[in-house]
Amino acid sequence: MDQEQNSRVGIKNKNPNPSRTAGDPIPGPIQKLNQLVLAVLGIFFVGIGILGIILPLLPATVFFLLAAACFSRSSQKLYHWLHHNRWFGNYLRNYRQGNGLPIRTKITILILFWATIGYSGIWITKSLLVRIILAIITIGVTVYIVLLPTLIQPDSGIDLQSEQSD
């Protein structure tokens, strides 16, 4: 039955906006607040990513990926800006195109990840179940990072010609 037939037989429409389905985002102030929080988080992650370009201990790519995830749900304008930025858009494009991550980034990610999860597992939680879950997650993320293609950068000092001739 359509809405007109429903009203004639006394059935009230539970959905006041028939053009909106259950999967649509909630309109109004809650959605705006979510978008604002995600945009602010994205900007924060971009800032840390910029520090990661400068400082050798921070992996820039991870933070740019986090920023891209935040921007994709909050602002298409910021998402587009991030992906086409001349300084760090390259990090995201290489990852999204399947070119992989530089070896330095992989090593830094794994060291920081193992250090923080290890610290949490040893010093923060006393629950054996939580420690097992942390170990499984850590192993899974490690396998994922290791299996990602390694991006050979032109300034990496690796000479592919001399390695192939041996």
Least confident of 1-15, 42-56, 59-73: 1-15
pLDDT digits (tens, 9 = 90+) for 151-164: 887 654 544 444 44
Same domain for 116 and 61: no
- CB burial of residue 19 (10 Å; 0-12, 13-18, 19+): exposed
Q: Tell me, yes or no, whether 49 and 111 share the same domain.
A: no
Q: How confident is the model at residue 132, as a pLDDT? A: 94
Chain centre distance of CA 62: 7
Does residue 18 lie within any of the structural domains? no
Residues 143 and 92 in one domain: no
Given a cut of 50, whether residue 131 has pLDDT beyond it is yes
* Total number of domains in the chain: 2
In a domain, 115, yes or no: yes
What pLDDT does residue 127 have?
Answer: 93
pLDDT of 89 above 70: yes
Show contacts of 67-72: CB within 8 Å, 24+ apart: 67/41, 67/42, 67/43, 68/42, 68/92, 69/42, 70/38, 70/39, 70/41, 70/42, 70/45, 71/38, 71/39, 71/42
Considering the domain boundaries, does residue 125 fall inside one?
Answer: yes
- Co-location of 88 and 39 in the same domain: yes
Residue 96 has pLDDT above 60, yes or no: yes
Q: With a cut of 60, say whether residue 82 has pLDDT above it.
A: yes
Q: Are residues 52 and 95 in the same domain?
A: yes
Whole-number mean pLDDT of the chain?
79
Domain of residue 116, residue span: 100-153
User: Quick one: pLDDT band at residue 24, thresholds 50, 70, 90?
Assistant: low
> For position 40, what pLDDT does the model report?
96
Residue ending a domain, among 99, 114, 145, is 99
pLDDT (average), residues 96-104: 85
Looking at the fold, whether 85 and 142 belong to one and the same domain comes out as no
Indicate whether 53 belongs to any domain.
yes
Any idea which of 22-31, 38-47, 135-144 has the lowest mean pLDDT? 22-31
pLDDT at 38 (0 to 100): 94
- CA 128 vs CA 59, 119, 125, 134, 137: distances in Å: 30, 14, 8, 10, 14
- Look at residue 25 in the predicted model and tell me its pLDDT: 56
Answer yes or no: do 132 and 106 share one domain.
yes
